[in-house]
Structure 1
């Protein structure tokens, strides 16, 4: 495709005002043009994530300079390249992490934040990769320092983040314990490689983790709940354990016995990915290409696909996510 074949206008899904799923409205906007180091992607599919829902509600604004459109991950073909782009050429099939703008027919991203579509993957599968893989790699392996032979506790194991964490950690030699909210979700986690899946509606995960680890506890805990889980995570953690916070679905304030931090020599850390620099995300991309992309190409791991909706029905995708019954990734088909 030459630059002359890129249309002037495109269909996007914009947030007309803060509110429920129906505020997601199709609009026509100019197709952006790539700047230095950027590629323009003809979007074939876009992943749907909880930060998109938070942005739609008006509680998670995009970082300075980012598109006001939701959508943090896309896949498609390179339609245009800016000055200085070295790796990609027009026509290359890529999947990319973006700070925003994914709910659209075209999307800009820095070339270093894009990765090749793994061999044999569809565009919808490829669009389900970046947000969860970048998040899990940074928080579980970089911040949490998970190593082969250690035990990882993943809360929300049936989510996009959870299903990715279970597979990656298991494939790289860790033992995974997870929590989920139904027997069906627990079964799905076991099939993905979890050694133990705890139905948090009927079991105390602290006792279950202690039992599964012969009293030792989890070396790394990936938590998106917060609230009263914070104190319980301290109880479930092993000596020298690392707790990594990536969300607060149960609230960002809590009462906790912080003496456990000292007595167990725990580390409690956390992060947000979206506002980090292009260079920071590029470093994660490079590590993923080395350690995770070969596993994907060999189909040793793969995204768990829940539902695919047309771009114009993005509101239905948000309804599906907020219902909380999904297992794995929700994706928009843009083609």
Structure 2
């Protein structure tokens, strides 16, 4: 052998050894959970009914299907169920992969592919009422809860737990409670559906900052919804279209306003409770290390929540939000609400509601 020939021979020998010692490829059994489980067991494991899963699969099947069925391609149904199992447990990818009979690498690719496909359904399933008929219908539904007039949405914020992304900007995601999160603004309707969601701000950002930079604020201030109202908690500034509770109600009409406000705005509290219990990954925290991998999961689970609500899926078995959560029960009994500032005296809409409408109900 020449020197060059010897080098080639050694390289080929090492390559042959690697090929020879490579672990044999194993095709695992991929269970058909859609057929194996009945409706109850299926819903417990995947947090959605078979009816809702069928709706989602119909919407995204073409997008997540493989171009060919060769090399034991993973079916769209198995991809969807793997992703739902990940949302339902918040587990490590390896656990989800073993549950579905695929490799860890495949589960990682599948989760992001399916999540992005579901998140792209947002314009179809997360819609704020814009037409006059839609606005009127929402106002009637909210009025039926506690007789609060002209309400088309209840707004609040919730922190979605994440792990630190590291780097120089990591501390921006640490919220006032000390853990890392995404601060999510959501608006709901009377059917406990999410009608608007903003999921892009770090956990340290104040709620008012998110609202001031949101599209929904611009639409309200532009007169898009005429005399319609949003209900929020006491941490916001009162605006002609934004009603908050009173800090120290004195008259019977003011107490009635507070009680009606609390019972109506309780819908957004229930939405957060149902949403996080249906998809525990939102409460337990995602382990992905990039923000662009986490945000689609928040939007995708919001879309799935709305699909489940429209399909009539029952509430999670451990959901405690069928009654007013603390501290609302104490608030209704004591008649006072913890607000940061009482800035209501200069709001004409508030005076109209208290002195004209709620006073007439007594």
TM-score by length of 2: 0.23
Q: Which has the higher helix share?
A: 2
Q: Which has the higher strand share?
A: 1
TM-score by length of 1: 0.24
Larger Rg: 2
